[in-house]
Amino acid sequence: MSKKQIIKNIQKDREDSSLKKEKDNYFKFITTLAILLIIFILTYFIMGFFYTKEIDFSKKDSDTKEDINIDNKTIMLGQIFDQSESEYYVLIYDLSDDSSMIPSWQSTYESNDNALTLYKVDSSKKFNSKYLVKDNSNKQATDLSNLKVISPTLIKINNKQITEYIEGEEEIIDVLKNN
């Protein structure tokens, strides 16, 4: 081999070596980016599944919709003088009491076309307890400050005044039957 050929081979080896280094650097760069991307994706899934619970792989039907019933006839005891009608009834009793006959007579009363509006107050709710007493109710209350009622009670309100006050389940049923 001649000296020229040796020099040519050395230059060719240098060029091949520099090309190989460039290819190696490019491959290292792409590999590093891919590894970082995989790490970020894994971190996202791990955080979403274990920490924030935003990712859930279980098959739940989350699109089930429940019917919402809004009962405009159930009020708080502190609102008995605040209704829009000029004349109406307010029925105060424990709505969760299954042994009471009041709900069946209430629905009979409400089915009557010329019946006054009948609002319900749940006496078992804590926010109504401020106005509930065991005995010595105030049948002539003129406002909330002196309102004291026993459960069950039916009150007729006319122009923001109490015009009828009936205590006891049987007496209430008699009124609901006859109106």
Residue 68 lies in a domain: no
**Within a domain: 67:** no
Closest CA to 150 of 81, 83, 71, 91: 91
pLDDT per residue, tens digit, the chain (179 aa), is 777 777 777 777 777 777 788 888 889 999 999 999 999 999 998 888 887 878 777 765 555 667 777 777 889 999 999 999 999 999 999 988 888 899 899 888 988 888 899 999 999 999 999 999 998 898 888 888 899 999 999 999 999 999 999 999 999 999 988 87
Same-domain check for residues 78 and 161: yes
- For the whole model, what pTM was predicted? 0.60
Whether 152 and 79 map to the same domain: the answer is: yes
Tell me if residue 130 falls in helix, strand or coil: helix
Residues 101 and 170 in one domain: yes
What single-letter amino acid sits at 59? K
